[in-house]
Amino acid sequence: MSDAPAENKGAEDSLQSLQSLNINDVGETSTDPENHKNDKQKIDILLKPTGNAPIMKKKKWTVDGDKPISWIAEFMKRYMKLEPQEKLFLYVNQTFAPSPDQVMKNLYDCYSTEGKLVLHYCKTPAWG
């Protein structure tokens, strides 16, 4: 949990601290056998930096459809070796920050283009 400093509690900061939280998977996410294989669907994502964000060497990733956005954000912070107090903002459609518990499959189903989901990331709030 990255605690934002007390004097800087802007709404966007708070959102980031939500996004970067990693809620660990406790057991199976789905108990619905019929849709089980859908949950294991792999999603292609493309990560694009904006503003002052560091560039990731590998931009294309394949992730499990049931992974929440907070998991992706945590992974990216580790991959880019950001300091724990540094912030990372993720956006869909260059418009909105997805809910931290939103899973990749839902985002893919609603917002993918040409077979992949594009996520923009930056270290300061970009769209909001």
With contacts defined by CB under 8 A, name the span among 6-14, 48-56, 72-80, 116-124 that binds another protein.
6-14
Q: Does residue 45 contact residue 116 with C-beta atoms inside 8 Å?
A: yes
Q: Provide φ and ψ at 67, rounded to 5°.
A: -80, 135
Q: Please give the C-alpha separations between residue 55 and each of 30, 49, 64, 120, in angstroms, as whole numbers.
A: 34, 6, 23, 11
> Does 8 help bind another protein (rule: CB under 8 A)?
no
Find the binder of another protein among 44, 48, 56, 93 (CB under 8 A): 93
Work out which of 79, 82, 99, 116 binds another protein, going by CB under 8 A: 99
Residues 27-66 vs another protein: string with x where CB under 8 A?
Answer: --xxxx----------------------------------
- Gap between the Cα atoms of 16 and 75, Å rounded: 14
Q: Which residues bind another protein (CB under 8 A)?
A: 1, 3-4, 9-15, 17-18, 21, 23-24, 26, 29-32, 92-93, 95-103, 106, 109-111, 128
